[in-house]
Amino acid sequence: MSAAFVAGEVAGRAVPVVAGVLGAGGVAVAALPSRLRMRGELRKRWRTWALAAPLFLGAFFLGRAGAFALAAGLGVVAVGEYARMAGLPRGERAVLGVAAVAVPGVAWAAPAALDLRTAGVLLIAAAGVALFSGDAAQGFTRASRTVFGLLWIPVSLSGLVLLGDTAVAVGVAVAFGDVGAWCGGTALGRRGLLSRPLSPLSPNKTWAGVAGAAAATAAALAAVGALSLLLWAAVLVGCVLGDLLESMVKREAGVKDAGSWLPGFGGLLDRIDSLLVALLLTMVVTL
């Protein structure tokens, strides 16, 4: 698996697009009437977006090293949140933590090595702790949850390194898609066919939200000069399935959010759940 890393044209186009949207969003949020129930929450979310956007985009202007640092940083935090929700013991948490740095590191230093050899190493690492602890009661569950976490987080985040400029387009489009889904659900999701929920896992997610995400992701990809049918489909499916996937994990764990430290969102996984699946699907259709 290999791809040339070029953080150039798309990243350059993304900066004014994101800056313009953030500026317009800031004005809109500031103008919200004080009686609006969600005013405080929306302001928190805008502040988080305003901080996260330059960190995300700035990493790609540092080349492969910046993309690796971004992927590893996001991965370490995300696997910690996932391990807590999944109830994984210390050994499996260590495996996930090491992989959060090692997998993007391999994508940076030796991308051609990300093949069946890496898959075999990850499988053995995921099962090894439970195997040698002799856990006959929960060993298979522990190993399965660890494999899932490895594929969902470190492997997906390696796309930030492997996809180069395309990763910038995916990240921007997913962010726009999340906002579009909220707007679509709010405006169109109260009655009619579009008000039907996508899944019992998340009753608030409706087909109206999918329509909003579809329009927003297409607009974002077009704005940064990266619109194609396959990329749009990968991003849109990632936006839809990523959120439902994390809802499934949270439902079984009995928690509302993956964390509580990220203003307006909860935890990091609550913010990047769609990005993870979108990156994975983008690698499938482009690499």
Find all residues with CB under 8 Å of 150, minimum gap 6, and list them.
95, 96, 99, 103, 122, 125, 126
| pLDDT at site 241 | 95
Measuring CA to CA, which residue among 6, 10, 4 is closest to residue 220?
Answer: 10
Query: Minimum mean pLDDT among 185-194, 232-241, 244-253, 270-279: which range?
Result: 185-194
**Is the model's pLDDT at 182 over the cut of 60?**
yes
CB atoms < 10 A from the CB of 9, how many?
13
Measuring CA to CA, which residue among 139, 144, 119 is closest to residue 129?
Answer: 139
Q: Please, which pLDDT band fits residue 189 given cuts at 50, 70 and 90?
A: low
The phi-psi region of residue 262 (left if phi > 0; otherwise alpha if psi is between -120 and 50; otherwise beta) is beta
Distance CA 60, CA 39 (A): 32
For 62-114, what is each residue's pLDDT tens digit?
A: 999 999 999 999 999 999 999 999 999 999 999 999 999 999 999 999 999 99
Residue 28, phi then psi, degrees to nearest 5: -65, -45
Average model confidence (pLDDT) for the chain?
92
| pLDDT at site 188 | 80
Count the residues in the chain: 287
For 236-246, what is each residue's pLDDT tens digit?
A: 999 999 999 99
DSSP labels, the chain: -------SHHHHHHHHHHHHHHHHHHHHHHTS-TT-TTHHHHHHHHHHHHHHHHHHHHHHTTHHHHHHHHHHHHHHHHHHHHHHHHT--HHHHHHHHHHHHHHHHHHHH-GGGTTHHHHHHHHHHHHHHHHHHT-TTTHHHHHHHHHHHHIIIIIHHTHHHHSTHHHHHHHHHHHHHHHHHHHHHHHH-SSSGGGSBS-TT-TT-BHHHHHHHHHHHHHHHHHTT---HHHHHHHHHHHHHHHHHHHHHHHHHT-SSS-S-BTTTBSHHHHHHHHHHHHHHHHHHH-
| pLDDT at site 79 | 98
**Is the model's pLDDT at 197 over the cut of 50?**
yes
**Is the model's pLDDT at 6 over the cut of 70?**
no
Q: Please, which pLDDT band fits residue 190 given cuts at 50, 70 and 90?
A: confident
Q: What is the rounded average pLDDT of the residues 114-141?
A: 91
At 118, the amino acid letter reads T
**Is the model's pLDDT at 61 over the cut of 80?**
yes
Q: Using CB atoms within 10 A of its CB, is residue 47 exposed (0-12), middle (13-18) or buried (19+)?
A: middle
At 229, the amino acid letter reads L
